[in-house]
Amino acid sequence: MWTDTTRAQYARAGLTLPSDLTDAEWSVLEPFLPPPSHVGRPRKWPLRRIVEAILYLLRGGLPWRMLPPCFPPVSTVRRWFYLWRDNKLWLSLNHTLLLMAREATGREASPSAGVIDSQSVKTTESGGPRGFDAGKKIKGRKRHILTDTEGHLVHAVIHTADIQDRDGAPLVLREIIHRFPWLRHVFADGGYAGDKLRQALRRIGKWTVEIVKRSDGAKGFVVLPRRWVVERTLAWLNRNRRLAKDFERTIASANAWLFIASIQLFARRIARL
What tens digit of pLDDT does each residue of 15-74 get? 889 999 999 999 999 999 999 888 888 889 999 999 999 999 999 999 999 999 999 999
What Rg, from alpha-carbon coordinates, does the chain have? 20
Q: What is the pLDDT of residues 154-198, one digit of tens each?
A: 999 999 999 999 999 999 999 999 899 999 999 998 889 989 899
Average pLDDT over residues 235-264: 97
pLDDT of residue 217: 59
- Quick one: CA dihedral 261, 267, 272, 273, positive or negative? positive
pLDDT at 214 exceeding the cut of 90: no
- Which residues 6+ apart lie within 8 Å of 220 measured at CB? none
Residue 273 banded pLDDT, cuts 50, 70, 90? confident
Residue 12 banded pLDDT, cuts 50, 70, 90? confident
CA atoms within 13 A on the CB side of 87: 9
- The architecture CATH gives domain 111-215+223-243: 2-Layer Sandwich (3.30)
pLDDT at 153 exceeding the cut of 70: yes
Q: Provide the angle, in degrees to the nearest 10, between the axes of the packed helices 251-272 and 74-86.
A: 90
User: Rounded distance, CA 43 to CA 156, Å?
Assistant: 32
Query: How many C-beta atoms surround the C-beta of residue 202 within 10 A?
Result: 10
Q: What is the pLDDT of residues 111-151, one digit of tens each?
A: 999 999 999 999 999 889 999 999 999 999 999 999 999 99
- How remote is the C-alpha of 252 from its chain's centroid? 13
pLDDT of residue 1: 67
Please give the backbone phi and psi of residue 4, each rounded to the nearest 5 degrees, phi first.
Answer: -60, -35
pLDDT of residue 216: 57
